[in-house]
Amino acid sequence: MSNERTLVLIKPDGVRRALIGEVISRIEAKGYSVVALRMLSADRAILERHYEEHKGKPFYEPLVEFMLSGPIVALIAEGNRVIEGFRSLAGATDPTVAAPGTIRGDLARDQGTKVVQNIVHGSDSPESAAREIEIFFGGK
């Protein structure tokens, strides 16, 4: 469907490194539309909801702490197959092996931290997208 939507987060490492424009440029250059955008300092409650599938994993607490370490940008990107398409733009979770040409492959590397710092989050399914868009853009 042409109005498919995904939730993208520019994580604190991306904001600190002044890559907001770079990430948004890649989304727009690919042809997707940015239909909502906000910058925020997430609180623990919002991050626990967002990352609930990872609760109990060894990187969960470092992940939440990392996401609390500075402001983030949340945006909704829209377009046909944007969920899959943004995951493709983002590249593999591990930036060391993420393909060159992807956001993570071009702009991130292993920093030796407990949690992988990889610039962006993108929803992984229509169900995740709906749930995550509600968390960051619902009800206010």
- Number of helices (H) and strands (E), helices first, in the chain? 7, 4
**Which window, 12-20, 37-45, 112-120, 127-135, contacts ligand IDP (CB under 6 A)?**
112-120
Q: Report in angstroms the alpha-carbon separations of 107 from 18, 19, 48, 118, 139.
A: 11, 9, 26, 8, 33
The helix (run of H) or strand (run of E) holding residue 121 is strand 120-122
Q: Provide the minimum distance between the beta carbon of 9 and ligand IDP in the complex, in angstroms, as a whole number.
A: 9
Q: Which residue out of 5, 26, 50, 121 is catalytically annotated?
A: 121
Q: Is residue 116 close enough to count as binding ligand IDP by CB under 6 A? A: yes
Rule CB under 6 A: choose which of 4, 17, 124, 133 binds ligand IDP: 124
Order the strands of the 5-10 sheet from edge to edge. 33-40, 72-78, 5-10, 120-122
Q: Nearest residue to ligand IDP, using CB?
A: 93
Q: Is residue 121 flagged as an active site residue?
A: yes
Q: How far is the CB of 93 from ligand IDP (least distance, A)?
A: 3
- Spatial distance between the Cα atoms of 78 and 36, rounded to a whole number of angstroms: 9
Residue numbers annotated as active site: 121
Applying CB under 6 A, which residues contact ligand IDP? 54, 59, 63, 93, 115-116, 118, 121, 124
